[in-house]
Structure 1
Amino acid sequence: MPALWTPSEKLLLASTSATRLTLLVSAGLPVETQGSGIDERAVEEAAAHEGLDPPSLAARLTAEKALAVSRRHPDRVVLGADQVLACDGQVFHKPADRGEARLQLERLAGREHSLHSAGALAVGGQIVERFSERARLTLRPLTDEAIDLYLDLAGPDVLKSVGVYQLEGFGIHLFEAVEGDHSTILGLPMLPLLAALRRLGCLAL
């Protein structure tokens, strides 16, 4: 069987995200995963002091993840990926509990927000490729009853997602408009990634 992936070692994803892993595997890429171990909040605080905007923050987090794993595995092609949700300049994080989840939905309801998804490829402890995409999403106005029903239906999995929605599941009911590539919304822009891998000579197709 002809091989799509040309390097001798699998792509190393600097993340434990099941969603990103699924996107890569679905594209036929051989993948291994490893958590980066970086302190994301510390990176965000430093970025805030530097006045970085949400797209730049996503790029910084992505690069730090890729570099951390690449330094441990300098002979591998390492992929770092991250996503930042911003609404009116405010950056959102994964909610800690149902109360925070409800608060996020209340803030986002009836408003447009942006998902800034970025990626970086590292080899030998150096970033060799960067890419990013933006998606714009608008939640429809939501009553308190609608928010409670959604949180009941979606269950504890909502705490795994910034913005408290999973567009591929019950979250689709929350939206009025969605502009952007589906993989960007899920946190890994696949078309720019595949283009970057081709530039590195990692793909035969």
Structure 2
Amino acid sequence: MTTTYGEFQHAPLVLASKSPARAGLLRAAGLKITTAEADIDERSVEAAVGSDLEGEDLALILAQAKAANVAPQFADTHIIGADQTLTCEGRIIHKAEDDQDLRKKLLWLSGRTHTLSAALVVVYNGETVWQHTSQAHMTMRILTPEFVGRYVAATRPDSLDSVGGYQLEGPGSQLFDSIDGDYFTILGLPLLPLLAWLRSEKILIS
């Protein structure tokens, strides 16, 4: 059985996330998806696997955990799990808890280059059938406390939902001097490798 979205046909797909941004990327690409939020505690998963993991490895583990958590609800369906981590100078940086925490994190990232690691996993009937990771390197300009204060006031609460406190497609672009990496990786879902794999497996017919 296939679903149809415009001129694109594909087997059923579920995104193991309630992220509007990730779902929006898939739908904008012409995919019809179902979303299902994974019931996992990311910090507990991180604590269980240890604190010495690279950001790329942690993102992959979390993406796998999300897809595996949702998979029992959907037989004969491809489940997409996605996650993103931010690392800088050996530290994994999590989402800010509040405005004050966001200001503190942005000022610490000011003038530094951090790495976004994005991971995708596809699970089918409990088995991981594909996985992918990619990285982007983001160099922030030197930010003044005054600018950071204005930025936080102008972008909350959306900035609190992003691991780096920014959406590059919005005012977050003002934070950076240079960027080295794929746009979709920065948004947290490496779209082109996923689409290529779906086509190669005849899951997506286009």
CA distance in 1, matches of 2:56, 2:182: 16
Shift of residue 173, structure 1, vs aligned partner: 0.7
CA distance in 1, matches of 2:64, 2:123: 8
Q: What residue is the counterpart of 2:10 in the other structure?
A: 6
Q: What residue is the counterpart of 1:116 in the other structure?
A: 117
CA distance in 1, matches of 2:155, 2:139: 19
Shift of residue 4, structure 1, vs aligned partner: 2.0
Q: What residue is the counterpart of 1:97 in the other structure?
A: 98
Of 30, 33, 38, the match for 1:31: 33
Q: Which runs of 5+ in 2 are unaligned?
A: none
How many pairs were matched up?
Answer: 202
Q: Which runs of 5+ in 1 are unaligned?
A: none
Q: What residue is the counterpart of 1:169 in the other structure?
A: 170
The one-character-per-residue Cα deviations of 1:88-147 (angstroms, maximum 9, x if unpaired) are 111111111011101110111000000000000010011100011100101100111111
Q: What residue is the counterpart of 2:198 in the other structure?
A: 197
Q: Bigger CA drift: 119-128 or 154-163?
A: 154-163
Q: Bigger CA drift: 120-129 or 152-161?
A: 152-161
RMSD over aligned CA atoms reads 1.4
CA distance in 2, matches of 1:198, 1:131: 15
Shift of residue 70, structure 1, vs aligned partner: 1.1
Q: What residue is the counterpart of 1:17 in the other structure?
A: 19
CA distance in 2, matches of 1:109, 1:3: 45
CA distance in 2, matches of 1:81, 1:153: 28
Task: Map 1:120-131 onto structure 2 (within 5 A).
Answer: 120-131=121-132
Tell me the amino acid that sits aligned with residue 48 of structure 1: G
Q: What residue is the counterpart of 2:138 in the other structure?
A: 137
Distance 1:119 1:144, change over 3 A: same
Q: Secondary structure at the match of 2:18?
A: coil
Q: What residue is the counterpart of 1:155 in the other structure?
A: 156
Q: Secondary structure at the match of 2:157?
A: helix
Shift of residue 182, structure 1, vs aligned partner: 1.0
Q: What TM-score comes out, normalization by structure 2 length?
A: 0.94
CA contact (8 A) 1:87 1:113 kept: yes
Q: What residue is the counterpart of 2:182 in the other structure?
A: 181
Shift of residue 3, structure 1, vs aligned partner: 4.4
CA distance in 1, matches of 2:89, 2:34: 36
CA distance in 2, matches of 1:155, 1:35: 23
Moved over 3 A (4+): none
**Identical positions, percent:** 42
CA contact (8 A) 1:70 1:126 kept: no
The one-character-per-residue Cα deviations of 1:35-80 (angstroms, maximum 9, x if unpaired) are 010111111112225x321110000001111111112213211100
CA distance in 1, matches of 2:109, 2:49: 24
Shift of residue 200, structure 1, vs aligned partner: 2.5
Tell me the amino acid that sits aligned with residue 200 of structure 1: E
CA distance in 2, matches of 1:26, 1:160: 21
